Amino acid sequence: MTSTISYQSAVDTIYHWHHRPVKQLIFDRSVSEITQYIDAVDRIQQSLASGTESGDLNSIAMVQLKHEFLTVLTTKSDLIGTFDSITSERLNSDGHLGDCIKVYRSVRKSFFHTMIKRLHLEELYIRGDAKSAFKKNRFLWEELKVKIELWIRVLNLCFCIFFDLEKKISEKLFSGFGNGASEEYFWEIVGDSANNLLVFAETVSSINQSPERMGTILDLYDTLLFLLQYIDTLFDFDAAEAIRKAMKVTVPQLESDIRRMLLDFENFASFRLYKMRGVPLIH
């Protein structure tokens, strides 16, 4: 974090942004302007370390960066690519990183809670008595069919868009911290939602459905099979190992159930054909 710009240039740059309207962000500007501000922060922190700077100017810069960090997380996630782990290490040098991580957790969890409500994901949660009823086939088929159709839509949105975006945000911010920090924070945000989605698939796979329902079960199976590549890529770390293992059980179980339904359908069709032709069945 060594800067070659002059101390006065650094002072001018930081005060310039300090007096700008709060809605105007450094990270909305060009790469050269962003770099200039980061260099100014580095120069001030060098002076702080050598005892030639009191710390007031550094505090002003840290407040600016924290404000922009919060704004980017809440309204401008497309700018995460410019607010990366290098910027976060500047924040950490003055002890502000812990506050930013708290902000990250709070903001992104709030975002996910709102997203889940909008997607009606909570309608797919299976717990306690509901899970038992599910397995005992006490759900009406039409109700289950609606839930499967909702699950397919939600799963595609979550794994192809929302989870993927969240992992990229976490990697941009925390990949330079080592020790699996980016995976830890990513999993903290999306883990519960991912688990609940896949528990639904596991539970459906444990039910023996009748052959006429095979089309809907096939749709569920095809969706899960397509998304396996995303699951392996998104959750390629130890904390998410249970999800990867669960899918290695759920997918074959669905395949087996579909084969059974096909066989049942063939047997039923043969029975109807023999009966229509008046051919006696051999016992």
Tell me, what's the pLDDT at 12? 92
Question: How does pLDDT run across 120-139, given as a tens digit for each residue?
Answer: 777 776 655 555 555 555 55
Indicate whether 237 pLDDT > 80: yes
Tell me, what's the pLDDT at 126? 60
The residue written with tokens 């410019």 in the block is: 82
Percent of the chain residues topping a pLDDT of 90: 2
Indicate whether 252 pLDDT > 80: yes
Tell me, what's the pLDDT at 15? 92
Tell me, what's the pLDDT at 194? 87
Indicate whether 221 pLDDT > 80: yes
- pTM greater than 0.75: no
Indicate whether 147 pLDDT > 70: yes
Averaged pLDDT for residues 32-42: 84
Cα 89 from Cα 176, distance rounded (Å) = 8
Cα 107 from Cα 274, distance rounded (Å) = 65
